[in-house]
Chains A and B, each alone.
Chain A
Amino acid sequence: DVKVTQSSRYLVKRTGEKVFLECVQDMDHENMFWYRQDPGLGLRLIYFSYDVKMKEKGDIPEGYSVSREKKERFSLILESASTNQTSMYLCASSTSGAHRLDTQYFGPGTRLTVL
């Protein structure tokens, strides 16, 4: 079974803090994704990575950066957290050439609150 894990289920941070969200997958997938999910807006892609040290901006990369130093791990970084980054963050992974959702495996999500 593919497993995508995220470091925290719930996280509370203060405005201006640097925040790290970690995602690990155990199926040797090439692609990894970070989404945020907000009521009324649905899922929006922040960044994705198709290989180690490779990254591409999604639809809403502003205020975020990512790091992929190892194939199994994809980190989302909020350099200076702001209240409008309060959201549910979902990580996903998929095999090479597979952006299709039916081959993406999602993690359980991290609900981040920025005070």
Chain B
Amino acid sequence: KNEVEQSPQNLTAQEGEFITINCSYSVGISALHWLQQHPGGGIVSLFMLSSGKKKHGRLIATINIQEKHSSLHITASHPRDSAVYICAVYNNNDMRFGAGTRLTVKP
């Protein structure tokens, strides 16, 4: 079993839909990251969380440390949100990555 599990693996949505991607982890962490990987490979960091909730534009990330779970939400989804979203956890200079969720938003 992977230390970082994401669900769903693949997600197709219609433009405008509310999207939720989930991440569960089994190790102790000091921070959790959500990354976005566009077609072609480039990866950018969206959020770093150690508690609570963060919001940036239409993106919201939450984390529940007790439950070892984080969610990434996208409101009013748009085709340009189509990408692979990766959850990663960090502790003591050690990083573990989820396998990613491939999101396709159709117009």
Contact = CB atoms under 8 A, between A and B. Distances in A.
Chain B interface size range: 20 to 34
Interface stretch (B13-21, B38-46, B63-71): B38-46
Nearest to A104: B45
A107 B38 CA distance: 12
The main secondary structure of chain B at its interface with chain A is strand
Given A41-B99, A43-B97, A102 B41 contact: no
Interface residues of A, number: 22
A101 B41 contact: no
B90 A101 contact: yes
Interface string B48-87: 1000000000000000000000000000000000000010
Interface of B: 2, 4, 9, 31, 33, 35, 40-45, 47-48, 86, 88, 90, 93, 95, 97-100
